[in-house]
Chain A
Amino acid sequence: MSSFEIGTIFQIAGLGIIIAIFAAVLKQMNREDYAHWVTLAGVVIILFMVIRALADLFQEIKSMFLFQ
């Protein structure tokens, strides 16, 4: 379980770096519009990953306090 969490965190960090480079390259080529879209897509992808992790957290809490 904990290794999965570490993996997700690294995944998010890596994606962040890649998307930052992506946007920088696009901006340098005067394609600001595409850079914005790429950044937005990155945010959405990472948001989904975070939501999945948060769902796991809620599940943990629910089972911890015997809500189910």
Chain B
Amino acid sequence: MLKLLGALIVIVASTAYGFYRAMIYGKRLEQLKQLIYSLKRLKTDIQFGLTPLPEAFLHIGSQMSAPFGQFYIRLSERLIHSNSEVSFTAIWNDELNNASYDSYLTKQQYDILLQLGTVLGTSDVEDQQQHLQTAIERLILEESVASEEQVKYASLWRSLGALLGVALVILLI
């Protein structure tokens, strides 16, 4: 009886792990889509509204879900309340690092955002447009890769988790 219970727990746990790994791919795709949309909105705000960055960030962040909505809102708050000794890039990197704990993006996708932080707010409208456009294009590329990976690996992880549990149970019993 106790053995049966243990076996059940092992199978359930590994199946759950498989589903968790499958879920990551979906979440990553969703977050990438949100991020692309937010950068497009930022671009529009800069181009047609000539909105300063803190206000634009607040606009965008209030309409996004966690973790990047939180990221934009906190970024805007810190930009409004910061003294001039801290650079924009430092705040951007710091907040991006905070947001990274709740997000499912990969290292390469972060590097795109980190690079964007080094040029955002340092030049005139047209130059920033170009940098934003580059970042958006690279993120769209990442999105297509992520969607491919989701198709490939999500179902794989789901079945793999359950099978791994059954194999473990057979080995241990």
Contacts and interface: CB of A to CB of B under 8 A. Distances in A.
B160 A22 contact: yes
Contacts of B152: 29-30
B159 A45 contact: no
Nearest to B173: A11
Interface residues of B, number: 12
A19 B170 CA distance: 12
A51 to B, nearest CB: 15
Given A29-B152, A30-B152, A18 B173 contact: no
B156 A22 contact: no
B166 A18 contact: yes
A18 B170 contact: yes
A25 interface: yes
Contacts of B167: 15, 18-19, 22
Main DSSP-derived SS at the B contact region: helix
Interface band, chain A: 10 to 19
B156 A26 contact: yes
Interface string A13-24: 011001101100
Contacts of A29: 152-153, 155-156
A25 B159 contact: yes
Nearest to A31: B156
Contact of A11 (B155, B160, B170): B170
A54 B166 CA distance: 26
Interface of A: 11, 14-15, 18-19, 21-22, 25-26, 29-31, 45
